[in-house]
Amino acid sequence: RSIGPGAFGNDLDDIADCFRDVLEMPMLNSKRPIRYAFGHIWFVSIDDWKNDTFKEILPKSESDNVEQS
């Protein structure tokens, strides 16, 4: 099964919620979320409104530096 709000037609909020839930799970033997295991996590779309939805739903850390073009 594939996920994604584009060609697969899945609900954008559901997909962003799914990624948020997984990235907030504790890493093995750790209390910190698994998202801290990655230097960068990219969600890219040519549609700005989709990118905005991910920015709203996914948590930010204090060190996040979000640039908008």
Judge if pTM exceeds 0.85. no
Per-residue pLDDT at 67? 46
Confidence of residue 62 (pLDDT cuts 50, 70, 90): very low
Measure the CA–CA gap between 1 and 55, rounded to whole angstroms: 25
pLDDT, one tens digit per residue, over 25-57 is 998 888 899 988 988 888 888 888 888 888 888
Query: Which residues have C-beta within 8 Å of that of residue 62, sequence separation ≥ 6?
Result: none
The residue among 1, 41, 48 whose CA lies nearest residue 22 is 41
Amino acid of residue 66: V
Residue 46: half-sphere exposure toward Cβ, Cα within 13 Å: 2
pLDDT, one tens digit per residue, over 8-24 is 888 999 999 999 999 99
pLDDT of 64 strictly over 60 = no
